[in-house]
Each structure stands twice: as C-alpha cells, then as structure tokens.
C-alpha cells in the first residue's frame, strides 16, 4: 500500500544490497507513500511511523482533507521524518495546500518540500520568529525561510507561490509550507498541530483524498 521512493527527490528507489538506493542520491532511507491518500493507507503509514509524530493541522476546517502523507523509515524501524499535506479552500485564496514536515536534522525532506538546496534550513540570524504553532501542548516559534535560493527563486512567481516556515521541536525540524504564499494569513492565530496518533477515534472522521498536492 505504501511504495518506497527517494526522500530527497521524486525518483523511485531500487533495492541495492541490504538497502534502497536512488540513482542520484545513492543509498537512502526510503520515503514511503501511498499512491492515493486513504484511511487504510494512513493506518499503514502510522504503523510504519511507529510512534514518530505525524502532524496534522487541527481541527481541519469544513471541506478540508488530508491529501498526501509519507514517512521516511528504514525497513524494520528507524524513523527519520513524516510529511502530511492538507488541502482546502479559503475565501481569499481559493485552493490552499499546507504541508507539514517533521524531520530529524539531515534527512533532507524539508528542503525538498520547500524546493531549497541542501538539507538544512538557513540560519534566521537575529530575525524574530513570524508566528508560533502549538504542537500538542508545546508552543513552537516559527521563522520565515526565504525561497529566493530555490530554482527560479528571486522571481516574483516563486515567492508568491508559497510561504515556508521552519522551527525546532523536540530536536527535530518542523517545516510548514503554505501554498499560495498569501494563505500565510491563515496563521494569524496560533495554529494547532496534533499528532495523528493522539487524535484517537475522531481520526475515522478525517476526510482523505486527492488530488495529491504534489510536493
Ligand atoms: Zn534521490
């Protein structure tokens, strides 16, 4: 139900000796994702995530749905990252996608989702955080990440295309990608991200489905 791919690029991976390898990135711990977001695939995802947090903006607004998810995990354990995407519409922005990444430093999936080079967010320096999100009970300051280093970056199209925020939570990078960039205004109030494993029975009421937002 979940197929392996490269965490750093959209390529499939092939079995190479004891592990998986990407043609461009060599041996990798694979990213497991479903062809289509569904409740059953999400249950398989949570099993593979094995307690590593899978974060969802909560509660989902009316008409919003979980459109994509993935977990970077070695065969038999060793989980490095999770990705979830929720999609919906707002009056001001039309269709909006929000992608949440929780990753161990160096996994490289946050920068992939943000379409930035390398595997580490740029140092915010003395910049103050632009907002806070709440992960379960913890308030996490989030910094804005410039997308000008992205391919095509510096052009207005790329900068209006999406907003990227990053923070640190429990020693992991927490990335939020919001498309289009103007939908950042959604974050005015402190957003709540909940670990899907702690949502309990109401998880069966969460709508899943496409189209895949294509991170
Ligand atoms: Zn790759």
Beta strands (DSSP E) in the chain are 2-5, 14-16, 19-22, 26-28, 31-34, 55-57, 65-73, 79-90, 94-103, 131-135, 138-145, 163-169, 172-179, 191-195
Is the pLDDT reported for residue 72 higher than 90?
yes
Ramachandran assignment for 213, one of left (phi > 0), alpha (psi -120 to 50 degrees), beta (any other)? alpha
Q: How far apart are CA 46 and CA 48, in angstroms?
A: 5
Burial class (CB in 10 A: 0-12, 13-18, 19+), 173: buried
Distance 7 CA to ligand 1 centre (A): 6
CB 59 within 8 Å of CB 44: no
* Phi, psi dihedral angles at 128 (to 5 degrees): -80, 155
Residue 49 Cα to ligand 1 middle (Å): 21
Position of tokens 């999400």? Answer: 42
Residue 156 has a pLDDT of 63
pLDDT value for 57: 93
Q: Which residue has the higher pLDDT, 112 or 202?
A: 112
Which tens digits make up the pLDDT trace of 39-66?
Answer: 999 999 999 999 999 999 998 989 999 9
Q: How far is the CA of 5 from the centre of ligand 1 (A)?
A: 8
What's the 67 CA to ligand 1 centre distance in angstroms?
Answer: 22
What rounded mean pLDDT belongs to the chain? 90
Q: What is the CA(27)–ligand 1 centre distance, in A?
A: 9
Q: Which residue has the tokens 């065969």?
A: 75
pLDDT, tens digit, 9 for 90 and up, residues 139-148: 999 999 987 7
Q: What is the pLDDT of residues 141-193, one digit of tens each?
A: 999 998 776 666 666 665 668 899 999 999 999 999 999 988 887 777 778 99
Q: How far is the CA of 21 from the centre of ligand 1 (A)?
A: 8
């Amino acid at each position: 139900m979940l197929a392996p791919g490269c965490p750093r690029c959209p390529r499939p991976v092939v079995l190479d000796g004891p592990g998986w390898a990407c043609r461009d990135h060599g041996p990798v711990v694979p990213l497991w994702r479903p062809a289509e977001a569904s409740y059953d695939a999400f249950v398989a995802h949570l099993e593979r995530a094995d307690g590593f947090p899978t974060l969802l903006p909560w509660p989902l607004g009316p008409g919003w749905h979980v459109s994509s998810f993935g977990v970077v995990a070695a065969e038999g354990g060793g989980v490095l990252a999770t990705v979830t995407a929720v999609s919906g519409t707002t009056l001001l922005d039309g269709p909006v996608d929000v992608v949440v990444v929780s990753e161990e430093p160096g996994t490289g999936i946050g920068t992939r989702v943000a379409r930035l080079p390398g595997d580490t967010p740029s140092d915010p320096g003395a910049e103050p955080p632009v907002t806070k999100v709440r992960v379960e009970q913890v308030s996490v300051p989030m910094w804005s990440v410039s997308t000008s280093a992205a391919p095509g970056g510096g052009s207005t199209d790329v900068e209006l295309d999406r907003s990227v925020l990053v923070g640190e939570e429990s020693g992991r990078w927490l990335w939020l990608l919001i498309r289009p960039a103007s939908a950042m205004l959604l974050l005015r109030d402190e957003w709540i991200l909940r670990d899907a494993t702690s949502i309990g029975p109401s998880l069966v009421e969460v709508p899943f489905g496409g189209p895949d937002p294509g991170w």
